Amino acid sequence: MPFAYYENLDPEQQRIYRMSDGVKSLRVRAPGALSPLVDAVRETLAAGARAPLERASRALTDALCERLDVATVRVQVLEVRPSSEEGELHGLYTWEAGRIPRLQVWMRTAKQARVVAFRTYLRTLLHELCHHLDFQLLELPHSFHTEGFFERESSLFHQLVPKPTPRGRKKARE
């Protein structure tokens, strides 16, 4: 079921929205091999240092882009989230003709400047990367927030951070 803003889109945009909504997941080659990169993001985020977190985030997004056969994106990690009456900005994807696309994520909350939780940070990073993938992988002319978009984001997250296996059961090989 489309989100409410679907009705405000022109027919061409609605067609693109439906195309986006139809893609529910993205499969990453050998996602288990990315565990050290995910761990590096977790550890550098916990340490609260921006530059190492930016390097770790860039390494992870570069590896994901490589595994999905798309051009890389410039990653920029910023400190405290900007905020307004409408809320906090968690991340931003920017594409301009002739320039390398840029993905920005903020690592600290707006009100108390606390380092955000790992899962929140990683989901934000993947969310912004999904905008890049909409253009580069799916070749969509627009990147809309559709149910399919959010499912793609979740599919990437669960490949990178699999649910723990119950005790006594062995984890399946990837």
pLDDT one digit per residue (tens) for the chain, 174 residues: 788 888 999 999 999 999 999 999 999 999 999 999 999 999 999 999 999 999 999 999 999 999 999 999 999 999 999 988 888 899 999 988 889 999 999 999 999 999 999 999 999 999 999 999 999 999 999 999 999 999 999 999 999 998 876 765 555 544
Contact 108, 116 (CB under 8 A): yes
Torsion of CA 76, 77, 81, 87, to 10 degrees: 60
| Residue 102: inside a domain | yes
Closest C-alpha to 126, from 57, 76, 42, 72: 57
DSSP state of 172: P
Domain that holds residue 124: 4-160
Contact 44, 53 (CB under 8 A): yes
Per the structure block, which two tokens stand in for 74? 């410039």
pTM: predicted TM-score of the whole model, two decimal places? 0.90
| Residue 54: inside a domain | yes
- pLDDT at site 173: 47
| Residue 21: inside a domain | yes
Residue 154: helix, strand or coil by DSSP? helix
Per the structure block, which two tokens stand in for 154? 């979740």
Q: Is 22 exposed, middle or buried (0-12, 13-18, 19+ CB in 10 A)?
A: exposed
- pLDDT at site 88: 87
Query: Which residues, 6 or more positions from 5, have their beta carbon under 8 angstroms from its beta carbon?
Result: none
| Residue 165: inside a domain | no
Per the structure block, which two tokens stand in for 10? 């022109």
| Residue 148: inside a domain | yes
Instruction: Name the residue type at position 103.
Output: L
| Residue 174: inside a domain | no
| Residue 166: inside a domain | no
| Residue 91: inside a domain | yes
Overall number of domains in the chain? 1
Q: What's the distance, Cα to Cα, between the start and end of the chain in Å?
A: 33
